[in-house]
Every structure is written in C-alpha cells, then in structure tokens.
Amino acid sequence: MNTIAVVLVVVIMILAFIIIMYYNKHLEARSKVSHIPGIHQFQPIILKIPFLTSHINLKSPIYLQIYDLIRKHGRNGVMSISTWKTSSVAIFSPENIKHVMVKYAKDYPKPQEQVYEAFDIFGPNILTTNGDIWRKHRMLSNPAFNDDHIKLVSKVTNQTMVSVTKEYWSHDSFDCNVVEDMTKITLQIMGIAGFGRDMKALNEDQTYDRSKYTMTFREAISRAADEIIIARFRYPKWLLNSPLPYFKNCREVVRNADLYLDDIISTCINDSDPLSKNYDLLSLLVAAKDEENKTGLSRAEIKSDSFIFLVAGHETTASQLMWSLWLLAKHQDVQEKVRKEVNKVFGDREELVHEDYDGLQYLLCVVKESMRLFPPINGVVKVATKNDVLSGYKINKGTIIRVNFYAMQRDPEIWDRPEEFIPERFESSNADHVDPMSYIPFSIGTRKCIGFQFSLTESVFILAHILRCFHIDLTEEQKKSNFVPTPRQFITIKPKELNLQFNRIKDRS
Ligand SMILES: *[C@@H]1O[C@H](CO)[C@@H](O)[C@H](O)[C@H]1NC(C)=O
Ligand SMILES: *[C@@H]1O[C@H](CO)[C@@H](O)[C@H](O)[C@H]1NC(C)=O
Ligand SMILES: *[C@@H]1O[C@H](CO)[C@@H](O)[C@H](O)[C@H]1NC(C)=O
C-alpha cells in the first residue's frame, strides 16, 4: 500500500515538474509577442482539453481557425499567436506585407529549419534557400520562364486538352472526379513542359525499364512531390530512416525519382543543343549560364530546382482549377458569360494558340477571383533578423512572421462584399479598385512565384477547353445540400473531394 502511494506521489511530482518546465517555456515564448493583441494557449494544437482555453486544435483545417481568430483578435494588420513553446506574429495588411516582403525583404528571410526543409528531398533549391545562394538559383532560373517557354506551355496545354476533352472524357454525361482529373492533367502538362517527357498521366500505361526501376516515372515523381514531402513534415528523421515497411517504401520512391531525374538530366547535358528540340524547363536550366563567368547551375542544383518546379507547378495549378470549377458550377451566370467569350475565341476551331490568351480576359478574371477567395498557397513564413516595428508594435529579433494572404484577400476593410465571387472586380475598367499589394496569391517582391505566368496561361487554356466542350453543374445532391467542398490543407489548400456533373455541349449554334 505504502509503495503504491510513494510511486503515485513520485509520478505526480514528475508530471508536475514536466508541466511546469513546459509552462515556463510557453511563458518565455509568449513574452516575446504578448504586447501584441492576439491569442495565447498553453497546450499544443493537437489537444483539445475541456475547460482550458483552446483557440486552435486539429479538428478543422488550421488556416480557417486562424482566419476566424484574426477576424476576432487581429488589430491593424497584426495578431500574435503563442501555442505550446512557440510564438509568432501573423500579418495581413497591405502596409505590413509591403514592409516585410518588399521594402525590408532582406531583413526577413525564410526560416530554414521550421518549414522549408521538407522540400529539400534533392538538396537546397530555389524555394528553400536565402541570400546569395538563392540569388544564383533565381538568376539562372529566370530565363527558363521566358516567352519561348510560355509558348510551349500554351502548345502543350492545347495538345493535352484536345485529347482530354475527346478521349479521356469520352462520355457525354458523367460525374467528373475533379480532384483526381485536374491533378492528372496538370501533371501531364508539367511532364512535357518541365522535363520534355510524356508521363502518361492520363492513361494506365505501366511500362518502364524493370531492370533499373521499380515503378513508373509518373508514380515516382508524383509520390515524391506529395506523399514524401508530407512524410518529411510529419515524421522525425530517425523514423524516416527506420526499417518500418512504410518508410522503406518512401525511400524506394525517392530512389526511383532520383534515378529518373539523373537519367533525364544526363540525356539533356549530353545533348549539345537541347534547346533545338524543346523549350522545357530542364533544357533551359541546363543551358542557363552566368553572363560574366559562364558558369551555370551544378548538376545537383539542376536536379533540385527542376523537381521543385514540378512540385510547385502541378499541385498549385491543380488546386486552383478545382476551386474555379466548383465556383463556375455554382455560379451559372458567370459560367455562361465566360462561355460566350470562350466560344468567340475558338470560333469554329477546336484548338487554341498562344495568341488567343489575350482574348480570354474575362476568364482570366474568373481565375484571379477564384485565387482571391481560395489561394492555393495561403501564406508564407518569414523570420525577423533585426528588431523592428510593425503597426506600432515592437517586433523582436528572431520572431517568426506568418504572412497571411488568405486573411488579407477576404478583409472587409479592403474588399467590397469580400465573401462573394465577383470576377468583374478584376476587369481592367475596375482595375484601380484593386491595390496590387492587397492581392498576392503568387506572393510579392523578389520572392514572387517565378512560374506565375506559366500557371495563369495553363489555367486559362485548360478552363477554356473544358467550357467549350462541357456544361458544368452541381449534382442534384449538392444543389439540395448547399454544398461547399471540405478543404484539405497540406502543401496547398484544395477540396478534399469534389465531383461535378459534366454534360457535353453538342449544339454550338
Ligand atoms: C492543338 O492540339 C491538337 C491535338 O493534339 C493538334 O492537332 C493541333 O495541331 C494543336 N494546335 C496547336 C496550335 O498546337
Ligand atoms: C552521357 O555521356 C557520357 C559520356 O560521354 C556517357 O557515359 C553517358 O552514358 C551518356 N548518358 C546518356 C544518358 O546519354
Ligand atoms: C559566377 O558568378 C556567380 C554570380 O555572378 C557566382 O555565384 C558564382 O560563384 C561564380 N562562379 C565562379 C566559378 O566563379
């Protein structure tokens, strides 16, 4: 009896000690930001303990909880957040974003260890580096996104979509699994525009060189770009390197992706004039040289950058297309207005050429408005390397800054009817109502997304082909239940599931 009591007391004391230790850490983190209005919670976000203030938990996507908290507790474009032993400051006003991302961008680099390490599967790259190393990646990658490349994007999108609308979607009336199909389409386009390779993303072709690989190029690359990055976020290194079957399989994916990329890069480097064949990103990266000393990116840098372009390029555009298609199904009046424009541009052709882009202005407004409401990337993370002041509040050196595009793009002080889908607000006749600093789905400043024109071109052409061929509608069930897709937040924010009714348009008169 006595020993039990002693053990119990010891256990309670140890627990109390641990709690006090962590509470001290919490107070320490909190003291760095507690002079800024915001929320403070001791327990980690994975727990929801009754009777304790619990602002953030794992129940619904965290970005929506943060958005609600910002609406309630944010003041003058800032809100502090301290949970468990971390603290940070969210910013969401054009003034603060201009300060951090443009004017004093060099004092606010990306924090390495916190967020971006997961993307370094093949080494440091244009997304994850800072300072001079980043400058070199960016300078040598810029030419890859030139006009010749964007023309290739137009051409590849046309080829892919003519075949998708006729062959892949062969039925006249069907429930389209929008999440799956948009991912396949953007992966297919990225394979050709990025690597000059047909990934066969739209068919079930499983052929590959079995003496060398254990999976197809598509499987290796698409799993590395999604599942593996997520695993690297979630699990500590020792677990990733453990012999458990799941992690062994993850390493096998990376091994295959690595081999495939090596092979493609070798072929490209061996080719004396790769650009004579194709303006894909990889060929352009291999060809890029510094003007003064004529050196280019190393082989390892080419590999990690081209992989990042693929990750960033297909997942973000696919998410944007999912939200756009849902919004168009929900707003039939907008869909009809876009279709008029699209039909006029197609005329009696079934193809689109690069020059047609300029004629699709209203469709571009739809894409922009969809990205205002549902930016696939809803913010970026920075770290203050100096003491500073934002909205009149002191920012201590070392503070993590969470730049929240999502909250700014729905701020009622900036936007008229912020929750409504109104593409017309982006029409050129209304353009002076949109302050460029308050709309930044591709980020802003020197770290603005290098592929934004790639993405817009691809999106506009994909949607144009779809709208020419199909009426898009909510299903009967969705209409009855006032359906809103449940978001899934990971690398991007996209609908967890989305099925829409596609009906082929036969009479084009
Ligand atoms: C568009 O794609 C179709 C199908 O692949 C092709 O026949 C047509 O020539 C393409 N047009 C252009 C301008 O590339
Ligand atoms: C590239 O060239 C090297 C040396 O000439 C050769 O060993 C290698 O097999 C070539 N690789 C490819 C993929 O053509
Ligand atoms: C060439 O110049 C770039 C930037 O101008 C620099 O980053 C790189 O280190 C230089 N390479 C060599 C071999 O000097």
Q: How far is the CA of 345 from the centre of ligand 1 (A)?
A: 15
Is 449 labeled as ligand-binding? yes
Distance in angstroms between the alpha carbons of the first and the last residue of the chain: 91
Tell the residue nearest (CA) to atom 14 of ligand 2: 267
- Determine the 3-state secondary structure of 265 from DSSP: helix
Q: What is the pLDDT of residue 1?
A: 64
- Calculate how far, in angstroms, residue 287's C-alpha sits from the geometric centre of ligand 3: 15
Ligand 2: residue whose CA is nearest its atom 3: 270
Amino acid at 383: V
Sign of the C-alpha dihedral computed for residues 348, 353, 359 and 362 taken in this order: positive
Q: Give the span between the Cα atoms of 368 and 371, in whole angstroms.
A: 5
CB 114 within 8 A of CB 381: yes
Domains in the chain: ranges and CATH: 2-91 (no CATH), 131-504 (1.10.630.10)
Looking from the CA of residue 263, the nearest atom of ligand 2 is 13
State whether the Cα torsion 189-190-194-200 is positive or negative. negative
pTM, rounded to two decimals: 0.92
* Rounded-to-integer distance, Cα 100 and Cα 443, Å: 12
* Three-class SS of 369-403: HHHHHCCCCCEEEEECCCCEEECCEEECCCCEEEE
Whether 213 shows a pLDDT value over 60: the answer reads: yes
Question: What pLDDT was estimated at residue 509?
Answer: 56
Q: What is the pLDDT of residues 53-76, one digit of tens each?
A: 678 877 778 899 999 999 999 999
Report pLDDT for 262. Answer: 93
Report residue 268's pLDDT band, with 50, 70 and 90 as the boundaries: confident
Beta-carbon count within 10 A of 157 CB: 26
pLDDT tier, 491 (very low <50, low <70, confident <90, very high otherwise): confident
Length of the chain measured in residues? 509
pLDDT of 47 above 90: no
Cα(114) to centroid of ligand 2, in Å? 39
**Sign of the C-alpha dihedral computed for residues 165, 169, 170 and 171 taken in this order:** negative
Please give the pLDDT value at position 430: 79
Q: Is residue 432's pLDDT more than 70?
A: no
| Ligand 3 cavity residues, CB under 6 Å | 136, 290, 292-293, 295
Counting ligands in written order, the one closest to the CA of 292 is 3
Sequence-distant (≥ 6) Cβ neighbours of residue 79 within 8 angstroms: 36, 37, 38, 39, 69, 70, 73, 89, 90, 92
Sign of CA dihedral 422, 329, 358, 287: positive
Per-residue pLDDT, averaged over 315-325, amounts to: 96
| pLDDT of the residue at 53 | 60
CA distance 289 to 275: 14
Residue from 197, 266, 267, 271 whose mutation best tests the ligand 2 pocket (most atoms within 8 A of CB): 266
What does the pLDDT look like over 175-211, one tens digit per residue? 999 999 999 999 999 999 998 889 899 988 889 999 9
Percent of the chain scored above 70 by pLDDT? 96
Nearest alpha carbon to residue 308 among 63, 127, 67, 116: 127
What is the average pLDDT across 154-180?
A: 97
**Among candidate residues 340, 378, 364, 374, the one with its CA nearest the CA of residue 431:** 364
pLDDT of residue 271: 82
Report, as an integer, the average pLDDT of 326-338. Answer: 98
For 369-378, write each residue's pLDDT tens digit. Answer: 999 999 999 9
Choosing from 132, 290, 291, 292 the residue with most ligand 3 atoms within 8 A of its CB, the one to mutate for a pocket test is 290
> Among 160, 168, 189, 351, which is best to mutate for testing ligand 1, by the most ligand atoms less than 8 A from CB?
351
**276 pLDDT higher than 80:** no
How is residue 97 written in tokens? 């974003």
Tell me the pLDDT tens digit for each residue of 91-135: 999 999 999 999 999 999 988 765 678 899 999 999 888 889 999
Give the residue from 276, 322, 279 showing the smallest Cα distance to 487.
322
Q: Answer yes or no: is pLDDT of 46 > 80.
A: no
